[in-house]
Amino acid sequence: MPRRDDIHTILILGSGPIVIGQGCEFDYSGTQACKALQEEGYRVVLVNSNPATIMTDPAFSDRTYIEPITADAVRRVIEKERERGTPIDALLPTIGGQTALNCACELEENGTLEDLDVRMIGASREIIHRAEDRHVFRGIVEELGLKMPKAKTVNTVEDGFEFLEEIGLPAILRPAFTLGGSGGGVAYNRAEFEDLLRRGLSASRINQVQIDESALGWKEYELEVVRDRNDNCVVVCGIENIDPMGVHTGDSITVAPILTLTDREYQVMRDAALDILRAVGVDTGGSNVQFAIDPQSGEMIVIEMNPRVSRSSALASKATGFPIARIAAKLAVGYTLDELRNDITGTTSACFEPSIDYVVTKMPRWTFEKFPEADETLTTQMKSVGEAMSIGRTFKESFQKAIRSMEVKRFGFGLDENDRWLKERRQQDGEQWPIDEETISRKLSVPCQGRMYYIRYALKAGWTADRIHELTGIDPWFIDQFAQLVEFEQELLAVDSLDALPVETFRAAKQMGYSDPQLACLYLGSIHTDTILQVRSRRKALGIEPVYKLVDTCAAEFEAITPYYYSTYEHPFEVDGELVRDDEIRVTDRKKIVILGGGPNRIGQGIEFDYCCCQASFACGEVGFESVMINSNPETVSTDYDTSDLLFFEPLTLEDTLNILERLNGGGIEIEGRTGEVLGCIVQFGGQTPLNLAHGLARAGVPIIGTGLDSIDAAEDRDRFKAILDELGLQQPESGIAYSMEEARGIAAKIGYPVLVRPSYVLGGRGMEICFDEEALARYMRNAVDVSELANAPVLIDRFLSEAIEVDIDVLADYRPHADTLCHQLEMSDEQPQAVICGIMEHIEEAGVHSGDSSCTIPTNTLSKAIVAQIEDNARQLAQRLSVRGLMNVQMAIKDDTIYVIEVNPRASRTVPFVAKAKGVPYARLAAKVMMGHSLASLEIKKRPETTFFAVKEPIFPFEKFPGVDVVLGPEMRSTGEVMGADRSLPIALAKAKMAVGQSLPIEGDVFISVRDSDKPGLIETARSLVSMGFTVHTTLGTHELLASHSIETSLIRKISEGARPNILDRLANGEIDLIINTPTRKGGETDEGRIRAMAVRCRVPMITTMTGARAAVQAIAALRAGSWSVSAMQDIYPDLARPATAPPEVPTPWLNTMSSGS
């Protein structure tokens, strides 16, 4: 059955902003789906509010709507396409995660799809319901003779407690229709039970929570299944969770293939997964089914299924090479699996089950350091923000590679600088070892980040594998693998110097995944570029080098054509008397550019940088160079096998990247007679991760293309940067460095409060705070800083520019980089160097909120033309002075018409994709070309008028996943993702941005206002507007009286602390408040205001926490009330982005014709 020709235009819904539980894996699946449908000749209409995605690059769809993924907005998109004469006939809802699925269901339920003649493909409303309604699903599963844990779906707290009597504690709670298990968890006592139940009921779209009997300690598995309309089913990948039941799959360390099941057990699970898919009725596409197995009896239970592609299907695709989303898209338009080709081999069928001849480990990445008040225990609600994947031939190798992929200053399973056992051995810190039994016991039994290190400590302390198994529930096979590593440490420890390490032991260490840094730490005392390179040169002298093997879907059964590699240290064998190791890399003689990716997502470094890296890869193709991608993040587009010419799925460490660079370059970097053609490396696009490697790479002789490292350093070095600003006559907020408490007081007094304080050497605003008075400063110095270390790690104190307007400027320039790291093989055009302003983003929140957490607009809207011109001029000066070749980001603050430079980063910044989408210009791609030698003049960059179109960037926060954390914006970044609201009217653009983060502004109803005293004068106009629009405004006494004195009537609400009920918390819980305006006094989460904010998050009431934000919101509300708003595709705004129409392919099943028959 070839492609359907009764449909022409397909609507794809993305997943919107990156949140915990819904990350950039849906950009990966969405991009694949867009490409797959376009190559079949369909018109693709895309709706996604996330500008940082690759899929919203206008090249990937015919009509790119960066609009909210709400039923309302999507309806307008469908209507608009109809009016344009290009009606949408099908909606593919299974590619954009839970967000897309929920939106599609709503469109079906409210009749939109029927009214507008759009049918769902991939999954119908009925199928989604059967899979997601837990009651219906249970019926289906039990009908098949399969078991589920005893469970009940409840809609009220009372029913919940009644069922608890039946099953007892602990119990697992899961709200229906939420992503990442949001609002769910494990309850060990009645208080926790009630808390989770209430939270879950309000988080669920249909007020439904399932309470499950706990299968804690059972082994957990997941099968990724694909089915087509002819009922062909294949299991693409089986994934085993190392962490047993009780920890969300997204928070578990997982491996593929399944390692501890017999075939008998596995096949029963496979049958069950297929039966469930058939019974639920998933016609086409990918689904996953989760199971648990009792390790004592082998009894199997079904946990759940998702009738769509998911985070684990992205993982399964990267782990096997089988592109699930791409195949799912093709199946949705009518193909069957056997008509599709396995693109990895190019000659075999896509209707097969991949076999894996390596071990894949996925490790989650958490950012608890950003939420110190949050509970770090891992439960059924996902808390991680990203993940890394690693590939090794054995579990031990793969596992240690996964650890060093995490970029958390761990270089393997112990023996690094954070190894408490090793520290004690060296008597650096007598407090650390032995760790008392109780601590180990607790760390093993309560799942948490870093539990694996405690397993090692337990083994080191002589605990038996049985005891560890009992406490952790982890399968004994894995514990034995850990034990093997611990035992091998003895062999390493028995040697006292690197030179004395026998070659066999050295090789064995590498085969078990030990990194050069671990050996550097062990034998050379520390982990630095020098010591790492020292181990490296010793290793190479002994002839111990990695080989590269292919991920080929078929365990070498067929030849693979896609160059998707991983490194491993393999056993040598003899060929014609010589020892060889099998290396499958195919090095061409084409010139190559190596792009270092961003590694696991975390707060402050996410999809934006993957967007930049992919653009760099596309630029290579356009310039005619071979692109080489190195990354460890399975969720990304950059690690798709067809994004770059060569893909290396590897940890982003100096050792691993140098290995690849040298191998591609014919054995070394600056060596005689090298045969490779590596021109250089791009380190400026992947965020902090590759930048951290840049110096080490440069030391090893790797040419870095684009802006030189010295410029990047100059911008980060306080003194050098100050000198540059002085030279250019630019201003900076006054500042000082304090090496003691007294100095801190003195500096603050001199520059005046409020002051911005932070430890030196931090990233992403970590540990940064604004102190309004000396008392706050003293508190900060006491709590946040290690005072004894002040001499080595001083505190930076800046004048805080209160009520200043902050701007971000992205600049693209083509100056000649400094010679230090210049790539000499690259012809660098430097005629008429210049700097182009990509965009100026004006923050809506005033200075003091981390730029990643602020909303901002393009173009600016409150700054005068003269100031804007001066900002541009200053930014250009900086670019020239720093010899920027590529991208640069500048942050400035404007107060009283004076421009202060806050920060300069001569590299791709988080805002680049937003600017690119707002302006319709692929700045990252252009920048990459400039770095590869092109001049800006030759690229003819489009000038965009500043006035016709507004784009608003709005961040989204994970507060609802971390109950107890105060919802306050500050200098420390805490948002996980962002959306773009775009419109010809600024207020509507703002309103759209709010819709897109799920905080739709009300156009009528009740508003609660509570602001700090300093904001009260600014409040009057805001309150007046709200009242005049018919809102009921609720205030507490002080505000009430102030507003009354300006003849603004508000409803008085008693403070919580006064004890009167119903108080504001009750009103919030009852859904009586539609909007909150609350500017925090920063006194913590335990105050009235802290509790209000927490309740607002829990009840999902939109909340605005700055006065500028409030003023903007009022304008937006007024605009929404004034009448209809419309949606626009990027191609409407910038007609030059429209793609030429594609013709359907002539050969519907291309591979069948090229296949040999009957060989």
Residues 537-596, interacting with other proteins (CB under 8 A) = 549, 555-559, 570-574, 577, 581-582, 584
Q: Are 329 and 93 in contact (CB under 8 A)?
A: no
Q: Rounded to the nearest whole angstrom, what is the least distance from the CB of residue 10 to other proteins in the complex?
A: 22
As a whole number of angstroms, the distance between CA 222 and CA 240 comes to: 7
Q: Is residue 966 within the footprint of other proteins (CB under 8 A)?
A: no
Q: Rounded to the nearest whole angstrom, what is the least distance from the CB of residue 584 to other proteins in the complex?
A: 8
Q: Rounded to the nearest whole angstrom, what is the least distance from the CB of residue 334 to other proteins in the complex?
A: 14
Task: Choose the binding region for other proteins from 262-270, 643-651, 797-805, 885-893 (rule: CB under 8 A).
Answer: 262-270
Q: Rounded to the nearest whole angstrom, what is the least distance from the CB of residue 509 to other proteins in the complex?
A: 15
Q: Which of residues 383-422 bind other proteins (CB under 8 A)?
A: 393-395
CA dihedral sign of residues 878, 883, 887, 888: negative
As a whole number of angstroms, the distance between CA 1065 and CA 1061 comes to: 9
Burial (CB count <10 Å: 0-12, 13-18, 19+), residue 1017: exposed
Q: Which of 39, 159, 353, 946 binds other proteins (CB under 8 A)?
A: 353
* Phi (first) and psi of residue 478, to 5 degrees: -65, -40
Q: Rounded to the nearest whole angstrom, what is the least distance from the CB of residue 295 to other proteins in the complex?
A: 6
Q: Is residue 427 within the footprint of other proteins (CB under 8 A)?
A: no
| Residue window 45-64: x/- pattern of binding to other proteins, with contact defined by CB under 8 A | --------------------
As a whole number of angstroms, the distance between CA 729 and CA 898 comes to: 12
As a whole number of angstroms, the distance between CA 121 and CA 107 comes to: 14
Q: Which of 35, 152, 270, 538 binds other proteins (CB under 8 A)?
A: 270
Q: Is residue 990 within the footprint of other proteins (CB under 8 A)?
A: no
Q: Which of residues 276-295 bind other proteins (CB under 8 A)?
A: 278-279, 281, 283, 293, 295
Task: Give the residue with the Cβ less far from other proteins, 178 or 284.
Answer: 284
Structure tokens at 528: 């630095």
Type of residue numbered 920: G
Concatenating the DSSP letter of every residue in 915-957 gives HHHHHT--HHHHHHHHHTT--HHHH-PPP--SSS-EEEEEEE-
Q: Rounded to the nearest whole angstrom, what is the least distance from the CB of residue 146 to other proteins in the complex?
A: 8
| Residue window 85-124: x/- pattern of binding to other proteins, with contact defined by CB under 8 A | ----------------------------------------
Task: Give the residue with the Cβ less far from other proteins, 293 or 691.
Answer: 293
Q: Is residue 504 within the footprint of other proteins (CB under 8 A)?
A: no
| Residue window 459-498: x/- pattern of binding to other proteins, with contact defined by CB under 8 A | ----------------xxx--x---x--------------
Task: Give the residue with the Cβ less far from other proteins, 574 or 775.
Answer: 574
Q: Is residue 728 within the footprint of other proteins (CB under 8 A)?
A: no
Task: Give the residue with the Cβ less far from other proteins, 114 or 231.
Answer: 231
Structure tokens at 348: 């075999």
- CA distances (Å), origin 294, targets 146, 245, 271: 14, 10, 18
Task: Give the residue with the Cβ less far from other proteins, 579 or 1052.
Answer: 579
As a whole number of angstroms, the distance between CA 280 and CA 682 comes to: 47
Q: What 3-state class would DSSP assign to 907?
A: coil
As a whole number of angstroms, the distance between CA 193 and CA 204 comes to: 16
Distance of CA 55 to the CA centre of its chain: 15
As a whole number of angstroms, the distance between CA 100 and CA 948 comes to: 30
Q: Is residue 271 within the footprint of other proteins (CB under 8 A)?
A: yes
Q: Rounded to the nearest whole angstrom, what is the least distance from the CB of residue 270 to other proteins in the complex?
A: 6
Q: Is residue 274 within the footprint of other proteins (CB under 8 A)?
A: yes
Q: Are 1093 and 1080 in contact (CB under 8 A)?
A: yes
Q: Measuring CA to CA, which residue among 453, 447, 476 is closest to residue 464? A: 476
Q: Rounded to the nearest whole angstrom, what is the least distance from the CB of residue 915 to other proteins in the complex?
A: 45
Q: Which of residues 1043-1082 bind other proteins (CB under 8 A)?
A: none
As a whole number of angstroms, the distance between CA 1091 and CA 690 comes to: 40
Q: Which residues pair with 392 in a beta bridge?
A: 359
Q: Which of 86, 202, 207, 260 binds other proteins (CB under 8 A)?
A: 260
Q: Rounded to the nearest whole angstrom, what is the least distance from the CB of residue 129 to other proteins in the complex?
A: 14
Q: Is residue 948 within the footprint of other proteins (CB under 8 A)?
A: no
Task: Choose the binding region for other proteins from 87-95, 297-305, 450-458, 857-865 (rule: CB under 8 A).
Answer: 297-305
Sequence-distant (6+) residues with CB within 8 A of 4 are 333, 334
Q: Which of 180, 257, 598, 754 binds other proteins (CB under 8 A)?
A: 257
Number of shown-chain residues binding other proteins (CB under 8 A): 81
Structure tokens at 824: 């000499």
Q: Which of residues 896-935 bind other proteins (CB under 8 A)?
A: none
Task: Give the residue with the Cβ less far from other proteins, 399 or 815.
Answer: 399
Task: Give the residue with the Cβ less far from other proteins, 221 or 625.
Answer: 221
| Residue window 311-350: x/- pattern of binding to other proteins, with contact defined by CB under 8 A | -------------------------xxx--------xxx-
Task: Give the residue with the Cβ less far from other proteins, 281 or 666.
Answer: 281
Q: Rounded to the nearest whole angstrom, what is the least distance from the CB of residue 100 to other proteins in the complex?
A: 23
Q: Rounded to the nearest whole angstrom, what is the least distance from the CB of residue 540 to other proteins in the complex?
A: 20
Q: Which of residues 797-856 bind other proteins (CB under 8 A)?
A: none
3-state secondary structure 782-802: HHCCCHHHCCCCCEEEEECCC
3-state secondary structure 1063-1128: CHHHHHHCCCCCEEEECCCCCCCCCHHHHHHHHHHHCCCCEECCHHHHHHHHHHHHHHHHCCCCCC
Q: Which residues pair with 266 in a beta bridge?
A: none
Q: Rounded to the nearest whole angstrom, what is the least distance from the CB of residue 97 to other proteins in the complex?
A: 25
Q: Rounded to the nearest whole angstrom, what is the least distance from the CB of residue 346 to other proteins in the complex?
A: 12
Q: Is residue 258 within the footprint of other proteins (CB under 8 A)?
A: yes
Cα dihedral 470, 475, 476, 479 in deg (nearest 10): -90
Q: Measuring CA to CA, which residue among 213, 208, 198 is closest to residue 166? A: 213
Q: Is residue 1122 within the footprint of other proteins (CB under 8 A)?
A: no
As a whole number of angstroms, the distance between CA 1108 and CA 904 comes to: 25
Q: Is residue 667 within the footprint of other proteins (CB under 8 A)?
A: no
Q: Which of residues 599-618 bind other proteins (CB under 8 A)?
A: none
3-state secondary structure 685-707: CCCHHHHHHHHHHHHCCCCECCC
Q: Is residue 769 within the footprint of other proteins (CB under 8 A)?
A: no
Structure tokens at 749: 């007094």
As a whole number of angstroms, the distance between CA 910 and CA 889 comes to: 9
Task: Give the residue with the Cβ less far from other proteins, 545 or 903.
Answer: 545
Concatenating the DSSP letter of every residue in 80-94 gives HHHHTT----EEE-S
Task: Choose the binding region for other proteins from 140-148, 324-332, 371-379, 801-809 (rule: CB under 8 A).
Answer: 140-148
Q: Is residue 652 within the footprint of other proteins (CB under 8 A)?
A: no
Q: Are 211 and 151 in contact (CB under 8 A)?
A: yes
Task: Give the residue with the Cβ less far from other proteins, 215 or 956.
Answer: 215
Q: Rounded to the nearest whole angstrom, what is the least distance from the CB of residue 662 to other proteins in the complex?
A: 21
Task: Give the residue with the Cβ less far from other proteins, 504 or 726.
Answer: 504
Q: Measuring CA to CA, which residue among 22, 24, 478, 32 is closest to residue 12? A: 32
Q: Which of residues 191-250 bind other proteins (CB under 8 A)?
A: 229-232, 234-235, 238
| Residue window 145-174: x/- pattern of binding to other proteins, with contact defined by CB under 8 A | xx----------------------------
Task: Give the residue with the Cβ less far from other proteins, 31 or 287.
Answer: 287
